[in-house]
Structure 1
Amino acid sequence: MEIQKTEEAKNPEIEEIIELTKQKQSEEVEHCDEQEKQTQVAEDEEDENELRNLLLADIGELPISPPSATQVNFVSYFITDFTKPGHDQYIYRHANGLCVIGLAPTHLAFKDEGGITNIDFNVGKSDRSVLKVSGKRKKNAMRSESNTALCKVSTAKESYIVRCCVKGSLLEVNERLIKQPQLLNSSADREGYIAIIMPRPADWTKNKESLITFEEYKEKKEVSL
């Protein structure tokens, strides 16, 4: 006798519950996927904004003019009223230890009518302009103390002795100033520098104690540069 398989009778209510459950699960999966997408989009936008802020400076925070080569490559120090009132000088120190020496904006010479008209490197016992240094050992470099006379600058009515400011080896003087002393009036902190000196590390550490920073100089002299 052939046995026939019979299908189980389906309960309509149970089938409806199962179908509703499947739909709910499907909706929850879609909802989770949508939340994950939104979260990922938000994170991507945040990363993009952060990168943009790093690469593109805020225009409002940019300086009116770009920093000069001196500001980028040197640390500025000053010495004020050196040996006499109003004898203010700058010392720009490079990372390699070299120090550029010159007249600070508040030096008395700049207050005289007509400014500086002449510079003479023949002071003390030798003419600094004939100094010829050569080789890695800086042969022929003149050893100087901080108060060693470097040159004499003159205006129409007065002369001023400019000093080395730091103890070290005088490597060169700016001979260009002999024929173009007006550079001291127009760009004393650039083309109008006076000399370059290389102090020993120990000497620099000691000299630095008598110097002031750029911010301290501005505050002391009440100037805005």
Structure 2
Amino acid sequence: MIQYCIIYDLMNQSRAIEHTSTGAEIITTCFVSWLYEVGKSPNEDQCVLLHSNGVCAICLSPKHQLITKYAQNIESVDFHSGSTDRAANRVSGKRKRGGQQLQQQSILCAITCSDGERFSIRSCVQGTLLEVNEQLVSNTSLMVSKTVSDGYIALVLPRLQAADKIVAGLLSEDEYMNRLEIQ
């Protein structure tokens, strides 16, 4: 069965329709793109794609150093955060029981480049970890080449009551681009 996925490409600021033969687990039809500022520099900002069903896909922002500077030098992705293995996360049932609880600053993974530079990728939203993209372990280039589709880092389900609070802490694409022009 062929499904259509509407993907918003932040790098080229255009919409594209992709045909996939898989279940299109990540981003299927409607979502809103929000950006999370990690620090004072846009070099480590991340993107949160909020789907109409409430699930958030965590991705890298188009200005993240891993995309702009280290695209060819990503060596490894490690989903172990301290004593917690994010890749071992398993959820079950309608209410997604068993998922790891995340805070906005929780580290999802560490990405290491060939020169030894290390980047910590944060959750950006408070909620339940549904899954991490284990494909990134064997194919790190997905993070750069298909940032908002196959290169997503994790899927997080925030509590429904927290949706307004989550959006309040993020920037819309226009706000983010305006802030980059000022810097």
Q: TM-score, normalised by structure 1?
A: 0.65
Contact 1:167/1:204 (CA < 8 Å) preserved in 2?
no
Contact 1:128/1:150 (CA < 8 Å) preserved in 2?
yes
1:152 corresponds to 2:116: no
Q: 5 Å matches for 1:42-121? A: 67-68=16-17, 72-80=29-37, 82-83=38-39, 85=41, 86-110=43-67, 111-112=69-70, 114-121=72-79
Match of 1:209 in 2: 168
Of Structure 1 and Structure 2, the greater helix share is in 1
CA distance in 2, matches of 1:216, 1:67: 22
CA distance in 2, matches of 1:66, 1:100: 17
Q: State the Cα distance separating 1:179 from its structure 2 match.
A: 0.7
Q: State the Cα distance separating 1:117 from its structure 2 match.
A: 2.4
CA RMSD in angstroms, aligned pairs only: 2.1
Contact 1:150/1:163 (CA < 8 Å) preserved in 2?
yes
Contact 2:31/2:49 (CA < 8 Å) preserved in 1?
yes
Q: 1:121 to 1:186 in 2, by over 3 A?
A: same
Contact 2:96/2:130 (CA < 8 Å) preserved in 1?
yes
Task: Give the counterpart of 1:123 among 77, 81, 88.
Answer: 81
Q: 1:76 to 1:176 in 2, by over 3 A?
A: same
Relative contact order, higher structure (CA 8 A, sep 6+): 2
Percent identical among aligned pairs is 35
CA distance in 2, matches of 1:105, 1:180: 19
Structure 1 stretches lacking a partner, 5+ long: 1-64
CA distance in 1, matches of 2:122, 2:103: 9
Q: 1:184 to 1:200 in 2, by over 3 A?
A: same
Q: 1:113 to 1:172 in 2, by over 3 A?
A: closer
Q: TM-score, normalised by structure 2?
A: 0.78
Tell which structure's C-alpha radius of gyration is larger: 1
SS in 2 for 1:117: strand
CA distance in 2, matches of 1:215, 1:165: 19
Q: State the Cα distance separating 1:83 from its structure 2 match.
A: 4.4
Q: State the Cα distance separating 1:73 from its structure 2 match.
A: 1.5
Match of 1:162 in 2: 121
Structure 2 stretches lacking a partner, 5+ long: 1-13, 19-26
Amino acid at match of 1:137: R
SS in 1 for 2:125: coil
Q: State the Cα distance separating 1:71 from its structure 2 match.
A: 9.2
Of Structure 1 and Structure 2, the greater strand share is in 2
Q: 1:66 to 1:203 in 2, by over 3 A?
A: closer
Q: State the Cα distance separating 1:103 from its structure 2 match.
A: 0.6
